[in-house]
């Protein structure tokens, strides 16, 4: 396995980032995960646009997107695989042991790991912790992921693959690494970005391609929604067959099944789609 670290490919065993890198010491970094099938990325341009937005939100210099693209291409060529998770990590770089950022410049790491296609449906749980829709990092895809680690561990303990959060005012928000959609009276709804959720790339494409409506939803909507599904880079559109103790018989339901089909068809037609 070969990784890209700060300008060149390295063997995984010898690839190094300083132990004083701000991404390690204080979580001062951002990242993107891109699906790669047989060496071909999906929606890379949209992911790189969000990488830049996250960098600006965190106060990091804009990433050199030409270099990021070169790094992605090099890693994909060096590590051929059927289905992979391409991870782009961009951090504050070498810095003092505190919150103050150093002046050495950012670090860029690109790595690729193998994965498998997700099942058509999954189980989820809700967790008692909240997303802060008014936080400094809200809407940014940062490496400060410990909250998600804790919530996902609880989901795994309960036989689920994802944990769903409400926000501080009791609205449905998002999963640890996914966006959530519900079907009400045959219509697809998803929480707006103002709820505190990440503006997911797959979420945005699913909204555009299925006609879903952005709606403020109470967390309790999960107890009555006709259908529920998740979206993310590696899930695409995935039905939910159980939320907490509630079973959704027949998942994926007809609306979700159509969304899955439409997403697959549109994604196959354009591997680097745009929005709007």
| Structure confidence by residue, pLDDT tens digits, 184-239 | 999 999 999 999 999 999 999 999 999 999 999 999 999 999 999 999 999 999 99
Give the pLDDT score at 196. Answer: 98
**What SS3 state is found at 247?**
strand
Give the pLDDT score at 220. Answer: 98
Verdict on whether the full-model pTM lies above 0.85:
yes
Q: What is the mean pLDDT of residues 140-148?
A: 97
d(CA 24, CA 8): 20
Q: What is the mean pLDDT of residues 92-119?
A: 96
**What SS3 state is found at 202?**
helix
273: buried, middle or exposed (CB in 10 Å: 19+, 13-18, 0-12)? middle
The structure tokens listed for 266 are: 């549109």
Q: What is the mean pLDDT of residues 15-34?
A: 97
Domains of the chain with bracketed CATH: 2-114 (3.30.470.10), 121-269 (3.20.10.10)
- Cis omega (within 30 of 0) on the bond before 61? no
Q: Distance of alpha carbon 65 from its chain centroid, rounded?
A: 19
Strands 187-190, 179-184: pairing kind? antiparallel
Which alpha helices (H) appear in 32-100, and where do they start and end?
44-58, 65-78
Per-residue confidence band for 260, with pLDDT thresholds at 50, 70 and 90:
very high
Nearest to 94 by CA among 29, 32, 50: 29
Per-residue confidence band for 88, with pLDDT thresholds at 50, 70 and 90:
very high
Q: Distance of alpha carbon 167 from its chain centroid, rounded?
A: 18
Q: Give the rounded percent of residues in the chain with a pLDDT score beyond 90.
A: 100
State the average pLDDT for the chain. 97
Q: Are 55 and 30 in contact (CB under 8 A)?
A: yes
Strand order of the sheet with strand 2-5? 8-11, 2-5, 107-114, 83-91, 29-37, 40-41
Per-residue confidence band for 6, with pLDDT thresholds at 50, 70 and 90:
very high
Maximum pairwise Cα distance, the chain: 56
Q: What is the mean pLDDT of residues 132-155?
A: 97
Per-residue confidence band for 252, with pLDDT thresholds at 50, 70 and 90:
very high
Give the pLDDT score at 266. Answer: 98
Give the pLDDT score at 235. Answer: 98
* Residue 109, strand partner residues: 5, 89
Q: Are 46 and 275 in contact (CB under 8 A)?
A: yes
The region, left, alpha or beta by phi > 0 then psi within -120 to 50, assigned to residue 141 is beta
Nearest to 112 by CA among 48, 37, 180: 37
Task: Return phi, psi of residue 23, to 5°.
Answer: -65, -30
The structure tokens listed for 263 are: 């997403």
Residue with tokens 């939100």: 57
Give the pLDDT score at 36. Answer: 98
* Residue 85, strand partner residues: 35, 113
Q: What is the mean pLDDT of residues 168-172?
A: 98
Q: What is the mean pLDDT of residues 36-56?
A: 98
Give the pLDDT score at 108. Answer: 98
Q: What is the mean pLDDT of residues 105-110?
A: 97
Give the pLDDT score at 16. Answer: 93
């Amino acid at each position: 396995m070969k990784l890209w670290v700060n300008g060149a490919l390295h063997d995984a065993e010898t690839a190094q980032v300083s132990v004083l890198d701000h991404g390690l010491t204080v979580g001062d970094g951002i990242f993107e995960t891109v699906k790669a099938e047989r060496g071909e990325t999906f929606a890379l341009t949209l992911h790189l646009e969000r990488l830049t937005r996250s960098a600006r939100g965190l106060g990091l210099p804009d990433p050199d997107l030409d270099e990021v693209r070169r790094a992605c291409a090099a890693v994909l060529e060096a590590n051929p695989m059927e289905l992979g998770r391409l991870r782009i990590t961009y951090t504050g770089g070498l810095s003092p042991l505190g919150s103050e950022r150093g002046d050495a410049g950012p670090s860029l790491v690109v790595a690729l790991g193998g994965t498998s296609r997700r099942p058509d449906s999954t189980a989820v749980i809700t967790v008692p912790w909240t997303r802060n829709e008014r936080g400094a990092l809200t809407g940014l895809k940062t490496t400060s992921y410990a909250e998600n680690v804790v919530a996902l561990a609880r989901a795994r303990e309960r036989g689920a693959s994802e944990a769903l959060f409400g926000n501080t005012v009791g609205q449905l928000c998002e999963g640890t690494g996914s966006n959530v959609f519900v079907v009400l009276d045959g219509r697809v709804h998803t929480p707006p970005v103002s709820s505190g959720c990440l503006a997911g790339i797959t979420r945005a494409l699913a909204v555009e391609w299925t006609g879903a409506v952005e709606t403020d939803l109470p967390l309790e909507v999960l107890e009555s929604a006709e259908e529920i599904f998740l979206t993310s880079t590696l899930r695409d559109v995935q039905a939910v067959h159980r939320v907490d103790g509630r079973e959704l018989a027949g998942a994926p339901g007809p609306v979700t099944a159509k969304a899955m089909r439409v997403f697959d068809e549109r994604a196959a037609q354009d591997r680097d789609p745009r929005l709007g």
